[in-house]
Structure 1
Amino acid sequence: MKRIKERLGGVLTIKLNDVLELRYCADTGSDWCLISRRNFDELVRLGSGVQAEPLQKPVVGKAVGGHDVEARKSVRLHIRLHTAAGPVEPADPVTCLIIEEDEDEFIVGNDVLLSLGIDVSRQLEQLTGNRLEQDDDPFDVEDDAWSGLGDDDEIRAGVERLIEAALENDFPVEFVDELRRIALKHDIWRLVLRDDPPAKVPPYKLRLKENAKPFRCKARQYAPLQSAFLRDFNKTLVELGWVYKNPSSRWACAALPLRKPKSDEFRQAVDYKPLNAMTEAIAGLMPNLKTKLERARGKKHYGLFDFIRSFWQLAVAEESREMLSYMTDEGVFTPNRVMQGSCDSALHFQLSMEDCFAELLHEYLLIWIDDLLLFADTIAQYLLVLEKLFDLVHEFGLKLSLKKSSLYQQSVTWCGKVIDQNSIRHDPKRIEGLTAMPLPRTAGQLQQFICATNWMRDSLIDYARVVQPLQQCLDVALNGKRKTKRVASGIAVDLNDEEVNSFNQTLATLGGPPSSRKWLCGNLVWPSPTKRMSC
């Protein structure tokens, strides 16, 4: 820490763990973020769930005036900086030193500025490629282009590429003409979105709880790049006829431009939490993949298919459209297509697809939201069910993504499982990622580990007993606090010997202890450590 204060001008604020707002100084001299003891105590009083951790050795710096400032403890916080260019939010919690000073401002250190890609010689207001709220969306980000020509020649060329890929996957050459006929039989493929009519399924309807009242969010300011993205994106939606400007809407949730992973591009999400809290959930269940996947066991021929911009293909009932309205800095837009993130939108899509493909479901086809897995015992049978699948896609007015579909494979990875004629097993990449996880140091990391391993619990012998100490540790850490990822990431945990042993035992069921994490497939601890994980 070289200096504690060097203002860049203007009164700027920072929000800590969504509960405490302070002025901040974007200090280009301090190597660390700094928070005063008084402000830290206020953060604790507000119930943020944060805990201070002792430093291995004190950190001493110079304040304005030349006197020493000492920090003996640190804390990890989620921060959101409000700048003239819009809000800036690092994806992960940042480490802040707690200084014993009567300091009103929060000092933003070089470590945070550099992590945001900011040249410390420039002011924060010049930042345009910032981050916003974290998305709770559990589905993969789609990378299909939103609109464009995507003419028939391009689509036919795309189908030919799928056929070539099928041949590379050992599709029998003598059946290739039949495969081509089936693939080109209907207008069901898309490279980009067109102004196609909605699918021929019942529209999505919302039912509000008793005494629910319209919600309209406050107008937000966006950074220039985000504002430009929202303007262009919604202009495209208006041109497609899927949303319309509705300044008189009584409802409006906030539009959120989210940066795509490993990309400088954005995608639009909508914060529907206020609306969802007032909505009656529909009765229905997602399929149990463990039992359904048994239908695909031992099959020889597979196909993978994905709907292009899946939710947007389904209509919204007219009486529910206004409730799904969202606000950007250019006004309020009302959609007439299903919006991802609204209450039960995923379940509505799942149930709609199960109705559409009921003739094939389970015996030849599995569906998980917008991901389809087709399978058969013989190549002749596979071609029959493939043609039936495409007939149904056409009948219900659905469109498949050329970029994300595969006409033929003998081994597939679907919903985290590798499936072929011989077995169904967990995706080695998932196992590798889990066994590489370090010992959790925060409740957020512990929560992530338990959730990830719980997804595989049916394949892990004695999982509940082995993981119980970790679960108890997490319950204690989050007792009386909001159980969100944001809050959990700011709570330090110090695992005792029993909990460390539980962590290592859980890793051992996946692929051996930390010293042997090179395993890619999980091994069972009982009855034999040499047996691979069953599914």
Structure 2
Amino acid sequence: MLPHQGIDIILGMNWMTENDAVLDIGSRIVVLKSSVSGRVLKIPVVCDFPDVFPEELPGLPPHRDVEFKIDLVPGTAPVSRRLYKMAPDELKELKTQLQEQLDKGFIRPSSSPWGCLALFVEKKDQGGKRLCVDYRPLNAVTVKNKYPLPHIDILFDQLAGARVFSKIDLRSGYYQIKIREEDIPKTTFSTRYGLYEYLVMSFGLNNAPAFFMYMMNLVFMNDLDKFVVVFIDDILIYSKDEKEHEEHLRIVLTRLRENKLYAKFNKCAF
């Protein structure tokens, strides 16, 4: 722990999740658990939900009442960008990742007049490259979703009195949301090997975080401000004691199961 020297620091949910942080409301501090001595609660209820923690997503998301949509500013014409040159090793990786996405059903070949650029970014946690799409031209003509994201200080207030915590991180959360059929062509991206379009919500679409927050609030509406805090695809369950926590965990995992939402076990903490 470092002296703060009178300087306020804002810690985001992503940072706290990545660093396994625990909030101590009584002392108003954030505790970082040691990977060696940190105590991990063994809660049997988690073992009753193996289907919620698959090694891979089972395929396209199921039909839901809500689907991601891309509403355009009136008068907008399709936007297309020219390809940029990739190195031979990038082209090889491009082929591999395109095939993986095709096999999972997340993308399909396209003949859309739209076409944003595909590019690679470095993975922060695992190394290697992740295929991404530069959707800035599409975002510039998309009607913005004003659904609010929660403020971290408000989330802190909900945890007063809690002593037991678990966190659940959804597996490739965006890929668990379907795009409205009529909007799929707008997600088209250009590659050396042709045009492809997303059937699931893609990273880089500017309304994606707000829509995901909206969907998660629908799923956990009855639990918010009671024992659940949600920030996009991160779920924090908080309770006063271990017995209560087991009940809360069962409720949360049941909701995930009922809504066919899947978590990444090695990114969760129980």
Q: Normalized against structure 1, the TM-score is what? A: 0.42
**Pairs within 5 Å for 1:118-517:** 169=39, 171=41, 179-185=43-49, 187-195=51-59, 197-198=61-62, 200=64, 202-246=66-110, 248-261=111-124, 265-407=128-270
Q: Deviations over 1:506-532 (max 9, x none)?
A: xxxxxxxxxxxxxxxxxxxxxxxxxxx
Q: Distance in 2 between matches of 1:168 and 1:344?
A: 37
Q: CA deviation at 1:360?
A: 1.1
2:253 alignment partner, SS class? helix
Q: Distance in 1 between matches of 2:182 and 2:171?
A: 26
2:197 alignment partner, SS class? strand
Q: Deviations over 1:15-54 (max 9, x none)?
A: xxxxxxxxxxxxxxxxxxxxxxxxxxxxxxxxxxxxxxxx
Q: CA deviation at 1:327?
A: 1.2
1:406 alignment partner, SS class? coil
2:145 alignment partner, SS class? coil
Q: Distance in 2 between matches of 1:321 and 1:383?
A: 41
2:251 alignment partner, SS class? helix
| CA gap 1:256/1:282 in 2 versus in 1, 3 angstroms | same
1:292 alignment partner, SS class? helix
2:119 alignment partner, SS class? strand
Q: Distance in 2 between matches of 1:139 and 1:260?
A: 15
Q: Distance in 1 between matches of 2:213 and 2:250?
A: 22
C-alpha contact (below 8 Å) 1:375/1:382 kept by paired residues: yes
Q: Distance in 1 between matches of 2:65 and 2:176?
A: 10
| CA gap 1:258/1:220 in 2 versus in 1, 3 angstroms | same
Q: Deviations over 1:357-397 (max 9, x none)?
A: 11111211111111111101122211111000000000111
Q: Deviations over 1:332-378 (max 9, x none)?
A: 11111001111211111111111111111121111111111110112
Q: CA deviation at 1:399?
A: 0.2
Q: Deviations over 1:83-103 (max 9, x none)?
A: xxxxxxxxxxxxxxxxxxxxx
C-alpha contact (below 8 Å) 2:167/2:237 kept by paired residues: yes
Give the ranges of 4+ consecutive aligned residues of structure 1 lying more than 6 Å apart after TM superposition: none
Q: CA deviation at 1:258?
A: 1.2
Q: Distance in 2 between matches of 1:405 and 1:263?
A: 16
C-alpha contact (below 8 Å) 2:60/2:105 kept by paired residues: no
| CA gap 1:399/1:263 in 2 versus in 1, 3 angstroms | closer
C-alpha contact (below 8 Å) 1:201/1:352 kept by paired residues: no
Q: Distance in 2 between matches of 1:199 and 1:362?
A: 28
Question: Given residue 238 of structure 1, which amino acid in structure 2 is its aligned partner?
Answer: L
Provide the aligned length of Structure 1 versus Structure 2. 239
- Which fold has the larger relative contact order, with Cα–Cα distance below 8 Å and residues 6 or more apart in sequence? 2
Extract unaligned runs of 5+ from structure 2. 1-12, 19-34
1:323 alignment partner, SS class? helix
Q: CA deviation at 1:220?
A: 2.3
C-alpha contact (below 8 Å) 1:304/1:371 kept by paired residues: yes
C-alpha contact (below 8 Å) 2:60/2:200 kept by paired residues: no
Q: Distance in 2 between matches of 1:225 and 1:264?
A: 15
Q: Distance in 2 between matches of 1:264 and 1:348?
A: 28
| Identity across the alignment (%) | 20
C-alpha contact (below 8 Å) 2:52/2:261 kept by paired residues: yes
2:73 alignment partner, SS class? coil
C-alpha contact (below 8 Å) 2:146/2:210 kept by paired residues: no
Over aligned residue pairs, what C-alpha RMSD do you find? 2.4
2:230 alignment partner, SS class? strand
C-alpha contact (below 8 Å) 2:53/2:263 kept by paired residues: yes
Q: Distance in 2 between matches of 1:263 and 1:393?
A: 26
2:266 alignment partner, SS class? coil
| CA gap 1:258/1:186 in 2 versus in 1, 3 angstroms | closer
| CA gap 1:368/1:262 in 2 versus in 1, 3 angstroms | closer
Question: Given residue 287 of structure 1, which amino acid in structure 2 is its aligned partner?
Answer: P
2:89 alignment partner, SS class? helix
C-alpha contact (below 8 Å) 1:190/1:401 kept by paired residues: yes
2:229 alignment partner, SS class? strand
Q: Distance in 1 between matches of 2:14 and 2:141?
A: 23
Question: Given residue 214 of structure 1, which amino acid in structure 2 is its aligned partner?
Answer: P
Question: Given residue 144 of structure 2, which amino acid in structure 1 is its aligned partner?
Answer: A
Extract unaligned runs of 5+ from structure 1. 1-137, 144-164, 408-535
Q: Distance in 2 between matches of 1:404 and 1:231?
A: 28
C-alpha contact (below 8 Å) 2:45/2:246 kept by paired residues: no
Q: Distance in 2 between matches of 1:387 and 1:222?
A: 48
Q: Distance in 2 between matches of 1:191 and 1:266?
A: 20
Q: Distance in 1 between matches of 2:100 and 2:165?
A: 36
Q: Mark the structure with the bigger radius of gyration.
A: 1
